[in-house]
Structure 1
Amino acid sequence: MLTHKLVTDVVERALTEDCPWGDATVAVSIPAHLEFQANLVAREPGFFAGGAVLVETFQQVDPRIVITNLVTDGTAFSAGDVLASLSGPAAGILTGERVALNFVQRLSGIATLTSLFVAHVAGVGSHARIADTRKTTPGLRALEKHAVTAGGGINHRFSLSDAIMFKDNHLAALGVTANSELTEAIQRVKAKVGHTTAIIVEVDRLEQIEPVVAAGVTGILLDNFSVEDLRTGVQLIDGRCTTEASGGVHLDSVAEIAATGVDIISVGAITHGANALDLGLDAS
């Protein structure tokens, strides 16, 4: 999903926001011929993400800026590590600094938090995979979902267009209130779409599971289930479709959730709750 056009468009909007009429400070203080060198330095450990937007930012400001030693997305780093080196016109480097840092700090924060969830799951020997949600910053979804993969997670649906996913309000709007109505309601929808379209249904009670699975769904989302009920739910489903746990997932609970046997654990916090990492651009 992270296309070149998307990256260029996002960077263009960010630069327009940050310097709509140019950089007033640079314009009156930095000679056009002045050269500058700087390093992108980590001030805390983490996982890197955002290399493409870092490069694009400085290229749009001044294509004469050269970036070397750029680590690849998904690289683990320690405090003090150099993640990229820049050289070229000082005016361009100083103008693009804040936008570039905003991107890589935010995206590296997402990658780092994702990696922590992944590590907690791996620590209990579970096959469960950590997935993101649509709880992303408007306009930055592709970048943030890319950062999730840099941290070892996987992407849930990218948009509402990607799959059919019934949540509680969809069923309420359709007037589906009884468990006995679930199977027929889902099968009516299946009859309207092609065989390659994924159909996922959210449930919040154990007694909803059998009617949903009986409809032949692709996956079932067990929302805000207790750990005990998750374990029971996985046993009831017995491999007939993909199982996903969501709701109330935190670092201190994800290992226990993974141990129930679910296939996917979706975590909104890895995008909407990630802190920006402390990365700086230091003169070299």
Structure 2
Amino acid sequence: MKNFNNIYNFDNLKENFFFNSELELRTILSNFLNEDIGTGDITSNLLIPKEKTSSGTIVCKHEDIDRTIIASGLAEAKMIFEICGCKATQMVEDGSVVSKGTEVMSVSGSARSILKAERTALNIVMRMSGISTKTRQFVEKLGDLSQVVRIASTRKTAPGLRYFDKKAVVLGGGISHRKRMDQLILIKDNHIAIVGSVKKAIELAKSVYGEKRKIECEVVNLDGIVEAISSGADIVMLDNFTSDMVRYSLEKIREYGLREKAVIEISGGVNYDNIYDYASSRPDVISIGSLTHSVKSIDYSLEILN
């Protein structure tokens, strides 16, 4: 398998997903809490004595015999409870396989505080687990081809949630692709329409950045692939190709001796039903927007024990 750290350099969790500091992440999560809490939880404050302590567990409630369920977002949920003054302990690691009834976290502390953190923590876990689970579903569909073809996310994420969405993809077995627009030069159809040609756009990018930035170029036909590789693109994105077009194009660039000169990415029109047809041509990456823009959450609940 090609070393995608050298091309994308975005699938290292420690270096590329964590914020510049834990404080920065805590600030983001605190803002999520503030959005939910407002001036205070008037229901809990009314019904529960201030001195009351409780404990509970977060349990997977999702029953899905057709998919491997991946727990994700637990580190963030733990931090949310801790921000509220509770003690939280992960019972499984992020990225672990779970099933209905699996206890993933225990919490204890002020009853009011536990309930204050509950919804925000669960929302994070449910969404991130949904993304990780869907990613794993695509990876498993590829079988042995998953050792050759990588599944990637896109920037089609919910505003404000990109860190969480993309981290969840990686925990599910995918790669992040670029997290921000400043990490990779990605020349798309509208850039080409304005500049004039694939060759001209790539040459302009290289004249400014040289080898300091990787260049990806979106193309719509075989001629575009050849032009992009010949002009020095590091990654060529085959946009909205059919699986037959992908197969034909990759066969031709192998004949031309160009296949190993660039990473080939497939994007657009790929879904769970047809992904194996695309992957069987052995591109390097298949990027799928639905991993993050069409999330089906995994059901979890907080069960108070006392």
TM-score bracket, shorter-length normalisation:
over 0.9
Shift of 1:88: 1.4
CA distance in 1, matches of 2:261, 2:111: 60
In 2: Cα distance, 1:182 partner to 1:268 partner: 24
Superposed displacement of residue 41, structure 1: 0.4
For residues 194 and 90 of structure 1, the distance between their equivalents in structure 2, rounded to whole angstroms, comes to: 58
Q: CA deviation at 1:69?
A: 4.0
2:189 to 160, 165, 168: 168
Segments of 5+ residues of structure 1 without an aligned counterpart are: none
Query: 3-state SS of the aligned residue for 2:303?
Result: strand
User: 1:53-80: per-residue Cα shift (whole Å, max 9, x none)?
Assistant: 2112111112xx2222431110010111
Length, aligned pairs only: 277
Answer with 46-55 or 163-172: which moved more: 46-55
- 2:136 aligns to what? 115
Letter in 2 for 1:197: R
Q: Which runs of 5+ in 2 are unaligned?
A: 1-16, 64-68
Provide TM-score, normalisation by structure 2: 0.87
Tell me if structure 2 keeps the 8 A contact 1:10–1:140: no
In 2, are the aligned partners of 1:7 and 1:56 still within 8 Å (CA)? no
Contact 2:78 2:89 in 1 (8 A): no
Q: Which runs of 4+ in 1 moved over 4 A?
A: 123-126
Query: Does 2:270 match 1:249?
Result: yes
Q: Cα deviation per residue 1:86-142 (whole Å; 9 max; x = unaligned)?
A: 111111001111111111101110110011011112255661000000001111101
Identity of aligned residues (%): 34
The match for 2:156 is: 135
Contact 1:131 1:265 in 2 (8 A): yes
1: CA distance, partners of 2:23 / 2:161: 13
> What is the deviation of 1:7?
2.2
Root-mean-square deviation (Å): 1.4
Instruction: Report the more deviating stretch, 110-119 or 50-59.
Output: 50-59
- Equivalent position SS for 1:155: coil
Q: Which residue of 2 aligns with 1:205?
A: 221
* Partner in structure 2 of residue 216 of structure 1: 232
> What's the counterpart of residue 95 of structure 1?
116
Give the TM-score, by structure 1 length: 0.93
CA separation in 2, counterparts of 1:185 and 1:79? 51
Change (3 A) 1:192 1:259: same
The reply to whether residue 43 of structure 1 matches residue 64 of structure 2 is: no
- Partner residue of 1:8? 26
CA contact 1:129–1:263 (8 Å) conserved in 2: yes
Q: Which moved more, 1:88-97 or 1:186-195?
A: 186-195
- Name the SS for the 1:191 alignment partner: helix
For the 8 Å contact 2:187–2:201, the answer to whether it is kept is no
SS at match of 2:270: coil
Residues 128 and 258 in structure 1, CA contact (< 8 A), matched pair in contact too: yes
Question: Equivalent residue for 1:58?
Answer: 81
Partner Cα separation in structure 1 for residue 172 and residue 248 of structure 2: 30
Cα offsets for 1:170-216 (capped at 9, x unmatched)? 11122x1xxxx432432232111131310000001122111111101
